[in-house]
Amino acid sequence: MIRVDTDGRHVTLPRLGTIRTHEPTVKLLARVQAGTARILSATVRHERGRWFVSFQAEVKRDLEPVARPDVAVGIDLGVKSLAVMADSTGEIRTIANPGHHDRARKHLRRASRVVSRRQGPDRRTGQKPSKRWEKANAARNKVHHRVANLRADALHKLTTAVAAEYGTVVVEDLNVAGMLRNRRLARRIADAGFGEIRRQLTYKTRQRHATRTIVADRWYPSSKTCSGCGAVKAKLPLHVRTYRCDACGLVIDRDDNAALNLAALAAAATTGTGVAGDQDTAPAVSKPRGADQKTRTTRPRRKAEAGRAGGATLPHQRQTEARDRTQAEALTFW
């Protein structure tokens, strides 16, 4: 039988008996006694050097209202600044990147050097690790676990604050797996946790507050588009951190400009069911070269023609894709 004991510090699990918990279980116990929660199952796992027990419970809870339900916020994630948030009222806030892994690199180097000097395991010869190696490896893992716990705590605090304040959250569909192939930025991108931020925002807005999260299309040029007049640059290298519009003369930070464009997408989205099948009503606009997917020269299938072996075509008969293809700004609701 699975139950939470009345003292709020012990749980009873099948085959394991009564176990004392490090964290108090008063909140879950109060819900169970009040009849607003029912425990379905329990999962015991060993993670980050500690044992955890997770309860799957059916909970009856009311939706929490947000502070500003009529305000939309666009979030531009980055490495130097973890997030730049711009709402529909024009307010811009910057969240600094904690860089937990960078701060712990000195301790990790020392701990790794100690581990390398010990006699470790060898699968080829069947050699078992020494006691000193196991002790040093446990000390190194403790540093890794601390970094992971600090990162998870910071991301939960950020996403909880955003979900509790805004009625609409707009994020980008980042290709995190492709970004990790950049050997110069892979460590910092992995430490930031871009994918975890989007995952937490998705379920917190939907389940806690019944608000919506809009995911901009991966090819939407949020950084290349001017937030003032809407002009789109053909090219904008990554090292250019200041956006200068050639049409209206606007000069603004690159990340601030991208966040403002993401916040403006909320007005173009439909207020429908909030599922992935909803389509936007924004008119189709032409994207210049560099802001759209890559195009390539295509040739029609060769068919047998009289007078030409293999159906070869003359140069003037070859076809190419249009230089500027029409593409609607696709939005996905989560």
Residue 318 pLDDT greater than 60, yes or no: no
At 47 the pLDDT is 87
Q: What percent of the chain has pLDDT over 90?
A: 65
At 281 the pLDDT is 38
Which one has a higher pLDDT value, 102 or 298?
102
DSSP 187-236: HHHHHHTHHHHHHHHHHIIIIIS--EEEEE-TT--TTTB-TTT--B-S--
At 267 the pLDDT is 82
At 274 the pLDDT is 41
Mean pLDDT in residue range 80-91: 92
Residue 60 pLDDT greater than 60, yes or no: yes
C-alpha distance from residue 281 to each of 28, 29, 152, 162, 265 (Å): 45, 48, 37, 26, 11
User: Highest-confidence range of 69-73, 289-293, 314-318, by mean pLDDT?
Assistant: 69-73
Task: Quickly state the pLDDT bin for 253 (edges 50, 70, 90).
Answer: very high
List pLDDT tens digits, range 99-158: 999 999 999 999 999 999 999 999 999 999 999 999 999 999 999 999 999 999 999 999
Residue 278 pLDDT greater than 90, yes or no: no
Residues labelled as active-site residues:
76, 172, 255
List pLDDT tens digits, range 151-207: 999 999 999 999 999 999 999 999 999 999 999 999 999 999 999 999 999 999 998
Residue 290 pLDDT greater than 60, yes or no: no
Mean pLDDT in residue range 327-331: 45
Mean pLDDT score across all residues of the chain: 83
List pLDDT tens digits, range 34-52: 999 999 999 999 988 889 9
CA dihedral (25, 30, 32, 33) positive or negative: positive
Mean pLDDT in residue range 241-270: 89
CA dihedral (127, 130, 134, 136) positive or negative: negative
Contact 48, 54 (CB under 8 A): no
- Closest by CA position to 155, among listed 77, 48, 43, 45: 77
